[in-house]
């Protein structure tokens, strides 16, 4: 393992050695996460992507955030339509996750041909059998480098019934599932 000594990395007046994109990616491979599909809608057009950079932000008021690449169609649709939904995936959604990450070669405008989706007027698409879906209005977007931090004000929550709860995870470049520690 490569250990970077912060003191030796300091270059003069409070400047730090540049971390390469490759260093960043290698480190982030260890940050395992739950897999979601973030969707957006604008004037009847849907967009969506697979995302692990999603987190709870605040219970009062109910807010979440998602980090979305600014180069893609989903960011564009979120920015214009100001609606998003976070659909938390189960292990049975692996193929869908690959589809919305562009890993299966489908054209981007055919992503929603997979999965069972619904959307109320003025909302982003919700995956009917997601572990849970959060439909949001966009409260704010902060652009930071390549990504936008999208803050969603949660308007409705759809929790799937039934057990066990088996979230789809991604770590070290592989799809994974959780096992209980005894
Ligand atoms: C496991 C996994 C997690 C991902 N997480 C994110 C993420 O949090 N944010 C993001 O912008 N892209 C993420 N991506 C990449 C997008 O899913 C992919 O680039 C997608 O094709 C972008 O679609 P778009 O062009 O509609 O924006 C992830 C991909 C995978 C496989």
- pLDDT at position 164 is 85
| Token pair in block for residue 30 | 């260890």
- pLDDT at position 16 is 65
CATH of domain 32-171: 2.30.110.10
Q: What residue spans of 59-176 are helical by DSSP H?
A: 73-81, 94-100
Judge if the beta carbon of residue 74 lies within 6 A of ligand 1: yes
| Token pair in block for residue 99 | 């589809």
Q: Model-level pTM greater than 0.85?
A: yes
Judge if the beta carbon of residue 101 lies within 6 A of ligand 1: yes
- pLDDT at position 155 is 96
- Per-residue model confidence as pLDDT tens digits over 5-44: 554 455 555 566 799 999 999 999 999 999 999 999 999 9
Count of beta carbons in the 10 Å neighbourhood of residue 82: 19
Judge if the beta carbon of residue 50 lies within 6 A of ligand 1: yes
Q: Where are the domains of the chain?
A: 32-171
Nearest CA to ligand 1 atom 6: 51
pLDDT beneath 50: ranges in the chain: 1, 3, 7-8
Measured distance CA(129)–CA(88) in Å, rounded:
9
Q: How far is the CA of 172 from the centre of ligand 1 (A)?
A: 15
């Amino acid at each position: 393992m490569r250990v970077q000594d912060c003191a030796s990395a300091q270059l003069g007046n409070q400047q730090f050695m540049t971390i390469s994109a490759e260093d960043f990616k290698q480190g982030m491979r260890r940050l395992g996460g739950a897999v979601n599909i973030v969707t957006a809608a604008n004037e009847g057009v849907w967009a969506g992507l697979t995302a692990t950079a999603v987190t709870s932000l605040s219970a009062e008021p109910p807010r979440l955030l998602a980090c979305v690449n600014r180069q893609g169609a989903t960011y564009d649709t979120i920015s214009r339509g100001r609606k998003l939904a976070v659909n938390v995936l189960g292990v049975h959604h692996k193929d869908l996750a690959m589809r919305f990450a562009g890993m299966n070669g489908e054209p981007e405008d055919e992503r929603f041909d997979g999965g069972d989706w619904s959307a109320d007027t003025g909302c982003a698409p919700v995956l009917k059998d997601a572990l849970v879906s959060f439909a949001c209005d966009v409260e704010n977007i902060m652009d930071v480098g390549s990504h936008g931090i999208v803050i969603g004000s949660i308007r409705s929550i759809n929790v799937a019934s039934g057990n066990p709860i088996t979230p789809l995870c991604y770590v070290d470049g592989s799809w994974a599932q959780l096992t209980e520690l005894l």
